[in-house]
Amino acid sequence: MTPYSLDNPVFQIYAVAACLALLKLIGHSFYTVFQMVRNDGGYLNPEDLRKTLFNPKPDPRQLNAIEEVERARRMHRNEMENTPAFLVAGWLLVAVSPSLLFVVVTMVGYLLARLAHTYAYATKRDHEVRAACFTAGALCTVAMVVHVLVSVLLR
């Protein structure tokens, strides 16, 4: 059996975790747009001030930075910085046939840590709370990478 078969429970967990991570990443895009619409501004480009169905009364002030929109952008950027490493690490991890327990702990741990990080960021918790959530997720990714390295080097 190839490791990348839906008959492989390790790959099943990876596939679900990867899809959830990607949906979360895409969700940040929609959250940013939601904040822009809610605040009627925070646009980045001059062409965003053209009169359209969705912006019937353009105003140059719509290009001003709005904290809620900028926070949404920072949250999205943070997700874009973390998700690709998780996806690649997980893909490589499947190839070395790790234990199911290791996969569950690292992949579910990563997802829970990232959800907690998003909650902490969105609700303006202290930096230490955000940092702890980020660190937990990053350590899950590092554990996957180290497991792959050790598996390959000791083969």
Q: What is the pTM of this model?
A: 0.93
Select from 82, 73, 142, 70 the least CA-distant residue to 115: 82
One digit per residue, the tens of pLDDT, for the chain of length 155 reads 799 999 999 999 999 999 999 999 999 999 999 999 999 999 999 999 999 998 999 999 999 999 999 999 999 999 999 999 999 999 999 999 999 999 999 999 999 999 999 999 999 999 999 999 999 999 999 999 999 999 999 98
- Specify the pLDDT at position 1: 74
The amino acid sitting at 43 is Y
Select from 51, 73, 83, 87 the least CA-distant residue to 122: 73
C-alpha span between 117 and 136 (Å, rounded): 9
- Specify the pLDDT at position 54: 86
Residues 6+ apart with CB under 8 A from 30: none
Select from 135, 133, 145 the least CA-distant residue to 87: 145
* Reported CATH class of domain 9-154: mainly alpha
